[in-house]
Amino acid sequence: MSLGKICGKMIGEPRTEDATAAKPRWLAVLHQGENWLLVGVLAAMVLLPVSEVLRRMGLPFGIRGADDFLRHLTLVAGMLGGVIAARENRLLALSSLPQFLTGWKKRAAAQVSGVFSALVTICLAVAAAQFVLSEKQGGTSLAYGIPTWWWQAALPVGFGLIVIRLLWHSAKTWRGRVVVVAVTAALCWLVWHPPLAAARLVIPALVMLVIATVLGAPIFVTLGGTAAILFWGRGAPLASLEVDHYDQVTNPIIAMVPLFTLAGYFLAESGASKRLVRVFMAWFGHIRGGPAIVTALVCAFFTTFTGGSGVTILALGGMLMPVLLTAKFSERNALGLLTGAGSLGILFPPCLPLILYALIAQVPVKDMFLGGILPGLVMLALVIAWGVRMGTTDEGDRRRFDFREGRAAVWDAKWELLLPVVAFVTFFSRFALPTEAAAVTALYALFVQTVVHRDLDIRRDVPRVMAECGLLVGGILLILGTAMGFTNFLITEHAPEKLVDWATATIHSRWVFLLGLNVLLILVGGLIEIYAAIVVMVPLLVPVGLAFGIDPVHLGIIFLANMELGYIAPPVGLNLLLASYRFKKPILEVMRAVIPMLLVQFVGVLLITYMPWLTTWLPGLFK
């Protein structure tokens, strides 16, 4: 099983079918066609911005309206990736409860969550169809006279296909599926013909949605369903939900998400991990705690580009655990270090949470990139310091430094080591816009792994890696798009202003507010997936932060540092679940092992919180 499949299996819904089961030929052809269509869309997303960079440099490349095409390709890629994620039963979910259920309880949970997931998605599909019909009447078009509604039609078509696949995966037998479809149809009739005033049904509907979420409904269903229920209760048109979805996913900055993720996937699915481990072992393995230093540095490097620490733990865990054990780290310390280090790198550019926070908080991406560097180094240094302290003091157990090996390792991995340089220099150059820098980075990673090292075959491996990347991106963009409806409902209800009034009336100290914020965010990070937390929490917190005189960039780094800590926070921090799976350890054993890492990284969060210059110095220097 490839890395992407393992990661998707763990962070999404468990599969209800044997992945190796034979498919009818027509179905296999359909699935293969979907994969290739997604690969083609992602390839176009890479080539379009690169052609614009070449055109700007004076070469005869580029097409008219490339930016508009790129924005709408992002929309198509997101919906297509979501369709494939639904096909593979790997949509991102908040609850891990279904993984611990067996027998009839597991089947019942799948059916209940499937019914309500399908019901919410049907509402989103209808809203999307209404939105597209209104846009069609408007008659807008992109370059070359291509109607805009052709691209927007990806919304209702995508949601419609997701409905079919949610219903299919809700039961294993045809009889069960017929029952689920019948119940869903009955609930749809009640939604459009409610027996009581819709306003009186809002609370029961929200309670049922919470139950479905606990039983495994995808995150986009929870967020989109909450917004749909609230709008439905007020008699507001649901089409506004899809206006928000469309505006969010076609934001020019969002194209950076699939492009940087693609670069990370090329890195993770190749032999880059072995070359990087060799480099850091050659230069740091000879000193006390050297293997811990190697673990922290390699994990931070990978998470910076993959964006989710799940990929880091799954890609590197099997390689780094033996290194730590050979260096006489206790099994508990090695397990805790790997679990905690898996989220290092979230604060380093161009990690995706930095981009998403900048988008939601409406601050420059450049400022978030610069603002995260020093805080990221602080978190990294604290983890390294703990690892060095836990390292063996026996000189006889440590090998001597070999300069020739160090030089050879750097030379072998020089192309991977240059990847952050390519991303950073291109991003801050005058020749490329942010999305173009992301495309150049993805193309560079592809070139290195297919042409230079030849770890990936251009025909066999690259389409598979791109499809896996698109699947993850589809899940993320579904969350971002559907969450905006809920966020805008909160804004129309003046929730941020009410929160500001309450906070300023209740809390009179900026420092007390920051401490309370840290506690809240650690809890949120341990319970809610990071992308959903960004979209829902940030619009509420930024106005409160401004009321207490906190710079939005500083607030963003505090937020993300707490989310980084939330990855290892009980009870359901993502890294805890992934480490338990990867190393075949009980979840309680992983929780005990990670306690030192929790304390170490909490110290880092406090330093970042109460020393704002760590965040604001570099952005101020480059203004």
Residue 215 near residue 113 (C-beta atoms within 8 A): yes
Instruction: Report the candidate in 560, 543, 540, 523 with the shortest Cα–Cα distance to residue 487.
Output: 540
Average pLDDT score, the chain: 86
The predicted structure's pLDDT at residue 3: 41
Other CB atoms within 10 A of residue 201 CB: 18
- Asked if residue 97 has pLDDT above 80, the reply is no
Residue 74 near residue 258 (C-beta atoms within 8 A): yes
Distance CA 372, CA 179 (A): 51
> Tokens 């809610």 correspond to what residue?
528
Distance CA 572, CA 93 (A): 12
> pLDDT for 509-543, tens place per residue?
888 899 888 888 888 877 777 887 888 888 889 99
Q: What percent of the chain clears pLDDT 90, i.e. is strictly above it? A: 38
Residue 261 near residue 352 (C-beta atoms within 8 A): yes
- Asked if residue 128 has pLDDT above 90, the reply is yes
Ramachandran class of 573: left when φ > 0, alpha when ψ lies in -120 to 50, beta otherwise: beta
Taking the alpha carbons of 14, 16, 21, 24 in that order, is the dihedral positive or negative?
negative
The predicted structure's pLDDT at residue 5: 41
* Amino acid, single-letter form, for residue 262: L
> pLDDT for 283-333, tens place per residue?
887 887 788 888 899 888 888 887 764 677 777 877 888 888 888 888 888
Close Cβ partners of 311 (under 8 Å, ≥ 6 residues apart)? 3, 4, 7, 264, 265, 268, 302, 303
> pLDDT for 299-310, tens place per residue?
888 888 877 646
DSSP per position, 245-291 = HHHHHTSGGGGHHHHHHHHHHHHHTTTHHHHHHHHHHHHHTTSTTHH
- Asked if residue 608 has pLDDT above 90, the reply is yes
Instruction: Report the candidate in 557, 590, 555 with the shortest Cα–Cα distance to residue 576.
Output: 590
The predicted structure's pLDDT at residue 393: 56
The total number of residues shown for the chain amounts to 623
Q: What burial letters (b/e) apply to 575-589, b meaning 16+ CB within 10 Å?
A: bbbbbbbbbebebee
Distance CA 1, CA 590 (A): 24
Rounded to 10 degrees, the C-alpha dihedral 102/107/109/110 comes to 120
Other CB atoms within 10 A of residue 474 CB: 28
Please give the distance of CA 143 from its chain centroid, rounded to a whole number.
32
β-bridge mates for residue 141, sequence order: 147
More confident residue, 529 or 475: 475
> Tokens 């209104």 correspond to what residue?
134
Close Cβ partners of 403 (under 8 Å, ≥ 6 residues apart)? none
The predicted structure's pLDDT at residue 10: 39
Structure tokens at 167: 């219903």
> pLDDT for 380-409, tens place per residue?
999 999 988 887 655 555 667 888 999 999
The predicted structure's pLDDT at residue 291: 87
Distance CA 511, CA 505 (A): 15
> pLDDT for 150-203, tens place per residue?
999 999 999 999 999 999 999 988 999 999 999 999 999 988 888 888 788 889
β-bridge mates for residue 218, sequence order: 93
Distance CA 389, CA 329 (A): 11
The predicted structure's pLDDT at residue 237: 81
Structure tokens at 372: 């995260």
The predicted structure's pLDDT at residue 395: 54
